[in-house]
Structure 1
Amino acid sequence: MSYNKYSKELKESVVSRILGGEESVSDIGRDTGINLNTLYRWRDNAQRTGLSATTKYKKAENWRTEDKFLVVIETANLNEIEFSEYCRKKGLYPEQVKEWKEACMQANGVSTEKISKVNQELKQEKKANEKLQKELTRKEKALAEAAALLVPRKKGQCDLGSGQRGRLISAQDREKAVELISEAVKSGARLFKACERLGIHKRTYNRWVLDGIVDRRTTCVRPEPKNKLSKEEEKKVLDVVNTEEFSSLAPSQIVPILADRGTYIASESTIYNILKRNQELEHRGRSRKPEKRPISIHKADKPCQVWTWDITYLNGPIKGQYYYLYLILDMFSRKIVGWEIWKEESANHASELITKAYVQEKIALNIRPLVLHSDNGSPMKGATMLETLYNLGIIPSRSRPRVSNDNPYSESLFKTLKYRPNYQPKGFDTIGEARLWVQQFVKWYNYEHKHSGLKFISPNERHLGLDKEIFAKRTKVYEEAKSRNPERWAGSIRNWKLNDEVWLNPERNQATEDGKAHEAAAS
C-alpha cells in the first residue's frame, strides 16, 4: 500500500506503539498488516522531527536524554504561567521538568577527566572478565568432551573394521556404533571426535542415521546365502534349458515337464535369475517387448488444479445405438465442471467441451497450469484435442493402457450416475431426452448430493471453500451433544475434518503418510 492510503489517526497510533518501545516493529507489522519498510519510514520521520514528534507518542519516563535536555532549554526563560502551559501541552508535570533540570546541573559539575578514567577502567575490567569467561567455557567443554569420549572406549565392543575403507560392517555393529556416538555427543563431545574414537568418518555416521543401518551398497562384499546354488548346479541348469528339447521353451514350461519325469533342478524364479545373470533372457519372438509405463501422480490442494474426464455410453432407443456422455470432473471438489452428449466419439467434440469448461471456470487466471487426466481413448489423444490443450496451456495426463484404476474419480462418478433411481437403463428415446436427464443429474450432484468422499458435503460447497465453516458447525453440534450426555459417548466425537490435499494415484508411502497425518489431525 502507498503511504497516503493510511489515515492520520492510524499512523499516529502505529508510530506511538513503535516509539513506545514495548513492541518490536516486526510484531506491529504482523498485527497491523502494514509493510515493514513503511513502518521504518514512519519511525525515522518521527525521530528526525525531534522533540515535537517524540514526546507526542512516548510516556515521559521513556523519553530520550536528548529530549529531556531539549525541554530544559526550552523552559529556561519561561515564566511560571508559560511554564505551566508548556507542561500541559507536552503532557508533563512541572516537577518532572525541574527534576530533569537539576540532573543537568549536577551532570555539568562532574569532571570530564574523572568520567573518562572511570569508563576506561570499566572497559578494561569488562575485557578481562570476558577473557576469563571464554577460557573457563573452553576448559569446561574440553573436560566434558574428554569424559564423554570415555564412553565409546569403555562400551565399544563392536567390530568396525579397524578403519579400513570399503569393509562390510554388520547391522548389529552399526546400530551399536550409532548408539555410542549419539550418547557421547549428548554428553558434550563433538561429533567428529566421537566418530574418530570409533574409527569411522562423520559422513559414514550421518549416512547410517539418515539411510538406516542396512548396508545398501551394491559394490560391497557380502557373505553368500546358504541356499545359493553352487557353480556346478548352475552349469547343470544352463545345460538342461539349452538342450534341443527345451531351447524354445520358457522356464515356466520346463519345470512342469521335468517334474512329470521325476526331476527337479531348480525353481522357475531361480532358472530365470540364472539366465539373466548369463545374459540369456533377452526378449524373443514376434510379440512386442513388454514396456513398463510410469503411473501418473498428481496432487491438488484447491479447485481447478487437476481435472479428470472420460466418456461413457448412454443407451439409445434401440439395442446397439448409444449416446456418448462427455463429462469433466474437478478432482479436488468432485464438482462436474463440464458435460455434453453427442452421437459419436470425436476429438473435435472433446476439444469444444474443454474449451467451454476452461472459459466458464476462468482457468486463465490460474497461476498454476491445469492438469487434465484421462484414459487412452482416441478422442483423448486426437490431434485436435492435443492442439487445443497446448493452446490453452493445459497439461495432458493419461492412464496406463488397460488400467481403469488410474482414473478412479471419473469411473466412480459414472457408477453414481448409472445407479440413480430414475436412470433409464432401457435407453433414451432421443438425444434431447438424454441431455435433459443429465442436466438434472448434474444439478442434483453438484448442489444437493452429500458426497461420502467429502465427509457428506456437496461438491459445490467444497468448490466454493465452504467446507471448513460447515465442519466447524457440525463439530460444535457434536461437542454440545456430548457435553449434555457424556455417558453416551465412549470416545471422541466424530471426525469432521477433511484432508486439504487430494491425490491421484499416490505412491504407497505417500498415501500412508497422508493417512497418518489425517488421523493425527483428527485425534
Structure 2
Amino acid sequence: MIASVHDLAPIVGMTAACQALGVPRSTVYRRQRPAAVRRQRTVRRHPRMLSPDEQTAVRTVLNSERFVDQAPRTVYATLLDEGISLCHWRTMYRLLRADAATRERRAVRRHPVYTRPELLATAPCQVWSWDITKLRGPQPGVWYSLYVVLDIFSRMIVGWLLATHEAALLAEQVLADACLREGIVPDQLTIHADRGAPMTSTVVADLLADLGVRRSHSRPTVSNDNPYSEAQFKTMKYGPTYPDRFANLANARAWVTAFVDWYNHVHRHSGLSLLTPAMVHSGTANAVVSARQGVLTAAADRHPERFVQGPPTSPPVPTAAWINPPLSMAAQPDDPARLKRNS
C-alpha cells in the first residue's frame, strides 16, 4: 500500500494519494525515514562494587567447610577478629541470594493454594454433602456427635448417625449405609465435606475409592464451601422444638429421628419452591407443581380482578444446585442454572 502511494503521489500529490488509498500521511513519512540504529547499552559497573575476583573470594570463604553452616554476620565478625575484611555482611547476603543459597532459617510451613471447589448437581444422588455437628448433652462438657449426609439437589437427608464421639469408622459406616440404601453405582456420585479429621481420614478415602465415589473437600477455614450442610444444621438448631440439652443419648437419638422425618417429608423448603425434599428426591415434584398451578389457575378464573398482573404461576422445580458456581455464572442472577438458596 505504501508503494502504491509513492506511485500515485507524483501525479495527484501526496495528500490526495493518501486520501484516495486511506493511508495516513504520517505513516508514509515515517516509513521514509531510515531505521534508527539502536545503540547497545553498556552496563556501567558501580565504582564501589566488588570485582569478579573479590566476589569469587567471598563465595569461596562462605562455602568453605569452616563457614558453610555459619550466618554471614558470624562469618563477618570472625574474619574481623582475625584481621580480615572482605566485605560487609550485607554484601555476603546479596551474593548468597544471587546464588539461591539462602532460605528461611526456621521450618516455616508453606501453605498450599487450595482449589475452589465447583460442583453441580442436576438430579438427586449426583452430589452429597456431609458434616458433623455437636449436640449438648445433659451437663457441660458432654457432647453428642451427629453425622448428617445431605443430597444437595433434593436437600434430602439420605443418612445420619448419632454417637458419643467423632471417629473415622463411624463416618465410614454412615456413608456406606447411605450409598447402599440409595443404590449408588461407581462413577455416579461426588461426596463433598470439609477438612475435618474424619472427612480426610484414610478409612473414608479407601471406602469411597472402593465404591467408585469421587471426593471433594472445602478450602481450609472457608465455611461457604459447604453451605448446604451448614444451612441444614441451622434449620435444625434454630427450630422451635430444638432443646437446650438432651437428657441422654437415647433421648437425642429419638429427637433426631423425628426431626429427620419432619425435615424430609414435611418441611417446605424455600430453596425448593416450597416443596419437601422427599418430593424432589422421589421425582414427584413436577406433578405437585402442576397440581399447584391448577389451583392457582382456578383461583384466577374465579376472581380475575384480583390478579392485575396476570394469572399467578407456581414456582418451577429447580433444575440445578451448585457448590460455588463459576464466577461468570454467579454474576448472572437470571441464569437457569443459578445457585439455589441454602435455607
Aligned residue number for residue 319 of structure 1: 140
Displacement of 1:404 after TM fit? 0.6
Does residue 391 (structure 1) correspond to residue 228 (structure 2)? The answer is no
CA separation of 1:415/1:491 partners in 2, compared to 1, >3 Å: closer, same or farther?
A: same
The one-letter code matched in structure 2 to 1:466 is T
The one-letter code matched in structure 2 to 1:389 is L
SS at match of 1:378: coil
Map 1:56-75 → 2, pairs under 5 A: none
Map 1:446-485 → 2, pairs under 5 A: 446-485=264-303
Aligned residue number for residue 401 of structure 1: 220
SS at match of 1:422: coil
- Cα distance in 2 for residues equivalent to 1:518 and 1:479: 27
The one-letter code matched in structure 1 to 2:238 is Y
Does residue 379 (structure 1) correspond to residue 198 (structure 2)? The answer is yes
CA separation of 1:482/1:354 partners in 2, compared to 1, >3 Å: closer, same or farther?
A: same
- Cα distance in 2 for residues equivalent to 1:415 and 1:482: 37
Residue identity (%): 38
- Cα distance in 2 for residues equivalent to 1:156 and 1:459: 70
The one-letter code matched in structure 2 to 1:461 is M
User: Of the candidates 296, 299, 305, which is equivalent to residue 117 of structure 2?
Assistant: 296
Q: Deviations over 1:51-85 (max 9, x none)?
A: xxxxxxxxxxxxxxxxxxxxxxxxxxxxxxxxxxx
Displacement of 1:513 after TM fit? 4.6
Q: Deviations over 1:97-133 (max 9, x none)?
A: xxxxxxxxxxxxxxxxxxxxxxxxxxxxxxxxxxxxx
Aligned residue number for residue 500 of structure 1: 319
- Cα distance in 1 for residues equivalent to 2:20 and 2:327: 40
CA separation of 1:399/1:487 partners in 2, compared to 1, >3 Å: closer, same or farther?
A: same
Tell whether the 8 Å contact from 2:193 to 2:216 is kept in structure 1 after alignment: yes
Q: Look at both structures and tell me which one has the larger radius of gyration over its CA atoms.
A: 1
Greater strand content: 2
TM-score, normalising length: structure 2: 0.65
Higher normalized contact order (CA 8 Å, seq sep 6+, divided by chain length) = 2
Displacement of 1:490 after TM fit? 3.4
Displacement of 1:283 after TM fit? 9.3
Displacement of 1:382 after TM fit? 1.1
Aligned residue number for residue 357 of structure 1: 178
SS at match of 1:380: coil
Tell whether the 8 Å contact from 1:299 to 1:501 is kept in structure 2 after alignment: yes
- Cα distance in 2 for residues equivalent to 1:157 and 1:314: 79
TM-score, normalising length: structure 1: 0.44
CA separation of 1:428/1:369 partners in 2, compared to 1, >3 Å: closer, same or farther?
A: same
The one-letter code matched in structure 1 to 2:276 is S
Q: How many residues align?
A: 245
User: Of the candidates 163, 176, 188, which is equivalent to residue 369 of structure 1?
Assistant: 188
Q: Deviations over 1:129-162 (max 9, x none)?
A: xxxxxxxxxxxxxxxxxxxxxxxxx999798x99
Map 1:416-455 → 2, pairs under 5 A: 416-425=235-244, 427-455=245-273
Q: Deviations over 1:336-371 (max 9, x none)?
A: 00001111110010001111111111113x6x4210
Displacement of 1:397 after TM fit? 0.6
Tell whether the 8 Å contact from 1:304 to 1:363 is kept in structure 2 after alignment: yes
Map 1:27-426 → 2, pairs under 5 A: 286=106, 287-364=108-185, 368-425=187-244
- Unaligned stretches of 5+ in structure 2? 1-18, 28-101, 339-343
The one-letter code matched in structure 1 to 2:221 is R
Superposition RMSD on alpha carbons, in Å?
2.9
Greater helix content: 1
CA separation of 1:351/1:489 partners in 2, compared to 1, >3 Å: closer, same or farther?
A: same
Displacement of 1:374 after TM fit? 0.3
- Cα distance in 1 for residues equivalent to 2:301 and 2:105: 73
- Unaligned stretches of 5+ in structure 1? 1-153, 163-281
- Cα distance in 2 for residues equivalent to 1:155 and 1:382: 76
Displacement of 1:504 after TM fit? 1.2
- Cα distance in 2 for residues equivalent to 1:517 and 1:329: 23
Displacement of 1:390 after TM fit? 0.8
CA separation of 1:155/1:372 partners in 2, compared to 1, >3 Å: closer, same or farther?
A: farther
CA separation of 1:348/1:476 partners in 2, compared to 1, >3 Å: closer, same or farther?
A: same
Displacement of 1:332 after TM fit? 0.8
- Cα distance in 1 for residues equivalent to 2:20 and 2:151: 60
